[in-house]
Homo-oligomer: A and B are copies of this chain.
Amino acid sequence: MTEQSFAGLPATSIRDLKEHDGQRVLVQGWLYNMRSKGKLHFLMVRDGTGIVQAVMFKGNVDEAVFEQAKGLTQESSIRVLGTVKLDERAPGGVELGVDEMHIVHQAGEYPISPKEHGAHFLLERRHLWLRSKKQSAIMRIRDEAIRAIRDFFHERGFFCVDSPMFTPAACEGTTTLFELDYFDEQKAYLTQSGQLYGEASAMALGKIYVFGPTFRAEKSKTRRHLTEFWMVEPEAAYYDLDDVMTLAEDFVSHIVRRVLENRRAELDDLERDVSKLEPAANAPFPRITYDEAVKLLHENGHEDFPYGEDFGAPHETAIGAAYDRPVMVHRWPADIKAFYMKRDPENDKLALGVDMIASEGYGEIIGGAQREDDLEALETRIAEHELPAESFEWFTDLRRYGSVPHGGFGLGLERTLAWICGVEHLRECIPFPRMLHRIYP
C-alpha cells in the first residue's frame, strides 16, 4: 500500500507542476479557497509546497463530483486529478484542468477566515494559522535560511557541534535564567548561549558551529522577545576580530542571497520589498568603530547619547538607517561588554567585540568578538564580574592547555528572519512561539 499515489498516479507537488505541462497529475492537499461561476468551480488547492488553481468545468467531471465540490468547506482535504496547463496569468504560473476529485475529509467550519483576527486569537490557533499563505511562506523561508546556514559552514570546513541545553551556570548574567530541579536537589539552568562550549569544541575541532535553541527568562512583552529562540554560533581557532567580521559579512550575505534565489515566490507572498534586501546579498558590509557610531548618532538626531553606553532600539535604527545594508560596529567600551572578550591591544578600555545591525530598523542580528586567550587576564575578568570561578574552571582550562587566538559570533535566527521576511513580530518567525504568557499550543 501507499498513500503517495491514487488511481494509478503518483502524487505531484504543486511546486513541481510546471515541469508537467500537458500531463495528467494527482495533487493531494487541502482546499484553501473556492469561488464558483456557472458551470465552473475555481478551487485554490494547497499542499504545503504552494497553491494552485484547479479549474473544474461541469462538463469534464461526473455530475456528482461537481455537486460535491459545491459543498466543500475551507481546509477540506482533497485529491484532485487533472491536466497541467502553463498559464502566466495564473498564480504560480500554472493551472490544473480537473477531471476527477475525491474528498478525503470534509472539514468542520474553519475558525480562521480571510477576515482580520486578533493576535491572541491566531496564537491560540497557531497549529492552524501555520496553514495560511503568509505563515507557511515564512516557514519555508526559515527552512531555506537554516539550510543556507548549515551549507555555509560546511563549505568552509566548520563542524556542527551541539552544545548542551542543561548547564551548571550562567554564561552572561543570571537574572534571565530558567532554573529547574535536576536530580537529587541539584539545580540546572537552561542554556543562554552555546559559546563557551563552542570555544572548547573549537580547540578540539578547529572550526565549529553550534546551532540550537537558547532560552531567556525575560519578562518583556515586546515584539522583539521570545523566551525560546534559535541561535547559530560559529567559533574558530586562529581567528581574530577581523576574521570574525569577514566571516560574519560573508555569512549574512550568503543567507540573504540564498533566500532571494530560492524563495522569491514566498517573499512575494509576504509582499516584501526585495529591493531593500538586495544590497545585503553582497559583502563586504560597512565597518565602523563604536566611537564612529556615537559620532554618527550625535550628528543624526541623538545629540544627547552618552558615550560609553549601549545602544537602544532607536539608536540601532538610526545607525542602520545610515546604510543600505547591515553595518558592523566594532571596538566597544569594555565595561558594557561580556567578560570573555579580548581587550584591544591598542586601547585597554576597548573590547574587541562586534555587533551587526540590520538595515530598515530591525536592530542587532549578530554579536561577536575575539575572545580573551590569556589565562591571567581572563581570571581577572571573571573575578571583576564576580562570577563563580569554580563554574568556569573548565572554561579557563582552554587557556591552560594550548591557548590560541580565537573568536566567533552568535546570530539570532528569528531576528534575522524577521528582517529578511519584513515582518514586525518575532513570534511569526518560529513555528510555535514561546513568550511571557504563551506556551500553548
Contact = CB atoms under 8 A, between A and B. Distances in A.
Interface of A: 1-4, 11, 13, 15, 28-31, 47-49, 75-77, 104-105, 107-108, 110, 125, 127-128, 130-131, 135-136, 139-140, 142-143, 146-147, 150, 154, 157, 159-168, 178-184, 186, 188, 190, 197, 200-207, 212-213, 215, 217, 219, 227-228, 230, 237-243, 246, 373, 394-395, 397-398, 400-405, 430-432, 434, 436-437, 439-441
A397 B111 CA distance: 10
Closest 5 CB pairs of A and B: A48-B206, A394-B441, A48-B205, A180-B180, A127-B200
A225 to B, nearest CB: 12
19 contacts: A2-B246, A3-B238, A4-B238, A13-B206, A31-B402, A49-B157, A75-B401, A125-B394, A127-B398, A128-B401, A130-B204, A139-B204, A140-B159, A150-B150, A165-B434, A168-B441, A183-B217, A197-B431, A213-B213
A160 B146 contact: yes
- Copies held by the complex: 2
A2 B242 contact: yes
A127 B397 contact: yes
Given A197-B431, A200-B130, A394-B440, A11 B163 contact: no
Among A1, A28, A159, A434, the most chain B Cβ lie within 10 Å of the Cβ of: A159
A219 B183 contact: yes
Nearest to A203: B131
A403 B104 contact: yes
Among A2, A160, A203, A431, the most chain B Cβ lie within 10 Å of the Cβ of: A431
Contacts of A139: 159, 161, 201, 204-205
A107 to B, nearest CB: 4
A290 to B, nearest CB: 18
A439 B168 contact: yes
A263 to B, nearest CB: 11
Among A203, A403, A432, the most chain B Cβ lie within 10 Å of the Cβ of: A432
A166 B1 contact: no
A110 B166 contact: no
Contacts of A373: 105
